[in-house]
Amino acid sequence: MLMEKERQLIVEYGRKLITQGLTRGTSGNLSIFNREKNLLAISPSGMDYFEIQAEDVVILDIEGNIVDGHRKPSSEVELHRIFYERRQDINAIVHTHSIYSTVLACLNYSLPAVHYVVASAGKDVRCAQYATFGTRQLAENTYKAMEGRKAVLLANHGLLTGGKDLKEAFGIAESVEYCAEIYYRAKSIGQPVIIGDGEMEIILEKFKTYGQQDNEDK
């Protein structure tokens, strides 16, 4: 099976989107880009995450043409392709409709540094200008708003994160949703105190060596 490992990861993390409360129903999508093969694996459109099997995951080339698979790919293919075309640091995308991130997105709010964990995505998380789902315009707006960051809110829509692999992209989605909930709850009883840019620069540097590092990164 072409890109079997990536397909299995899409199945595994798709189910985690539901169990971790990051999306509901069939909403959201995930993909992994294999730069050596110049191919991407993406979740199928409109399928229950617990029914998706590895063979249901669709393989596309970087132009968006189906290379392998019998299912219709996610309607947000453009939202994934644009990052693989233009961002060398991103090899996986997670797009969710998680509640608190989507609440902020529906207010067209950005997520400021209300908690240092925002640094997993950048010094803040911007909100991209609205565009119809599944369009190239949405992809362009999203790419622009995520410049220098690994997460972005999509106005009146949801959240998108990117990472060097699917594990990182998923972890950032969890962290952003956590911070979005903190921000929502803090604003409900007062005015949150936002961490300053100078301190966030320090935190961003510390995050580069946070956790267990691969030997090549040491």
- What span, in angstroms and rounded, lies between the C-alpha atoms of 38 and 188? 46
Catalytic (active site) residue 76: yes
Half-sphere exposure of 60 toward its Cβ, with a 13 Å CA cutoff? 25
Question: What secondary structure, in 3-state letters, does the chain show?
Answer: CCCHHHHHHHHHHHHHHHHCCCCCCCCCEEEEEECCCCEEEECECCCCCCCCCHHHCEEEECCCCEEECCCCECCCHHHHHHHHHHCCCCCEEEEECCHHHHHHHHCCCCECCCCHHHHHCCCCECEECCCCCCCHHHHHHHHHHCCCCCEEEECCCEEEEEECCHHHHHHHHHHHHHHHHHHHHHHHHCCCCCCCHHHHHHHHHHHCCCCCCCHHHC
Per annotation, catalytic residue among 51, 55, 76, 216: 76
Q: Write out the catalytic residue numbers.
A: 76
